[in-house]
Amino acid sequence: ISNHWALARKINYTYDIFLSTCFGIIFRASFESMLYPTFMIIVLIHRAWRDDMKCQEKYGKYWTKYKKLVSHLFL
């Protein structure tokens, strides 16, 4: 819970969403160019949910304590 991990539990997913959205905007923000960021948002939200469930099973009360300390999933 130090450095940028103190801001959000899935800070690396936030960067991925930001980067894919920037790619979509660079390519003129057309419908087709925004399919990639939309796909990434859906995939990463689902992956974050799965990760949360697996960590809850594996770490139990420690994961709950960690979630209280770092309350944001994404930034």
pLDDT over threshold 80, residue 56: yes
What is the rounded CA–CA span in Å between residue 57 and residue 15? 26
Give yes or no for a contact between 5 and 70, defined as CB atoms under 8 angstroms apart.
yes
- From the list 40, 67, 38, the residue with the least C-alpha distance to 51 is 67
More confident residue, 8 or 39: 39
**Phi, psi dihedrals of residue 33, rounded to the nearest 5°:** -75, -20
Q: State the pLDDT confidence band at 47, using cuts at 50, 70 and 90.
A: very high
**Phi, psi dihedrals of residue 60, rounded to the nearest 5°:** 55, -120
